[in-house]
């Protein structure tokens, strides 16, 4: 991921588009929440990274159909030029392939578009086969979360985390030994050179 995408991920937040009156008990009140989430290109880079990690963490003896569907999704997302509907279409196709193999859904549908969104369709950008129009990158949050969990549960990632913990423990041990050596050196100098 580029530095600009990493900076964009650091600035994630949300804000309400209008205040809700506490005294109003109307359950039918429409509360629009505008998500301050990442842009389309950052989402595309995030998904490409997650899918690449997921592909690389699959065992060689694993399902070839799953690996092929991940590779196809990566290629389609690369070709999507950050078009959210095309990105979702690639993910929906991958999900369908996984469902054929495992008979379970790996992630849910995206959130529906905000009510105030106007959707203009063309022949090339018509509603995809999954039946969901994706107009905002925030709609894909429920799709990304399970992908992140899948990547974090992968054995290769766990091994990397464990290796990082081992390295950190070794560095801490070395630093303690250096600190102890310096402390002993200073105490020796104090004894030899009283003031």
Q: For the chain, where are the E strands, in sequence order?
A: 13-16, 33-36
* pLDDT, tens digit (0-9, with 9 covering 90-100), for 157-166: 788 888 999 9
Task: Output DSSP code: residue 34.
Answer: E
9-50 pLDDT, tens per residue? 776 644 333 444 444 444 333 333 345 578 888 889 989 999
pLDDT category at 195 given cuts 50, 70, 90 is low
Among residues 37, 147, 35, 39, the alpha carbon closest in space to that of 91 is found at: 147
Average pLDDT of the chain?
Answer: 77
Task: Give the tens place of pLDDT for each residue, 66-108.
Answer: 888 889 999 999 998 878 889 999 999 988 888 887 777 788 8
What's the pLDDT at 110?
84
Question: Parallel, antiparallel, or unpaired for β 13-16 and 33-36?
Answer: antiparallel
21 contacts: CB under 8 Å, gap ≥ 6: none
Residue 167 has pLDDT above 70, yes or no: yes
Q: Is the pLDDT of residue 148 over 80?
A: yes
């Amino acid at each position: 991921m580029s530095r600009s995408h990493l900076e964009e991920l650091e600035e994630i937040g949300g804000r309400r588009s209008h205040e809700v009156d506490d005294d109003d008990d109307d359950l039918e009140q429409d509360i629009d929440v505008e998500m301050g989430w990442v842009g389309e290109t950052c989402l595309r880079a995030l998904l490409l990274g997650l899918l690449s990690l997921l592909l690389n963490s699959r065992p060689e003896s694993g399902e070839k159909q799953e690996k092929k569907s991940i590779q196809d999704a990566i290629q389609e997302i690369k070709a999507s030029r950050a078009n959210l509907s095309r990105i979702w279409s690639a993910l929906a196709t991958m999900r369908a392939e996984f469902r054929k193999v495992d008979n379970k859904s790996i992630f849910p549908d995206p959130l529906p578009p905000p009510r105030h969104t106007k959707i203009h369709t063309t022949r090339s950008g018509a509603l995809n086969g999954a039946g969901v129009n994706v107009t905002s990158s925030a709609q894909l949050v429920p799709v990304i979360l399970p992908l992140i969990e899948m990547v974090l549960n992968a054995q290769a990632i766990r091994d990397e985390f464990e290796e990082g913990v081992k390295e950190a423990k070794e560095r801490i041990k070395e630093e303690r030994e250096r600190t102890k050596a310096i402390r002993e050196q200073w105490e020796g100098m104090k004894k030899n050179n009283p003031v």
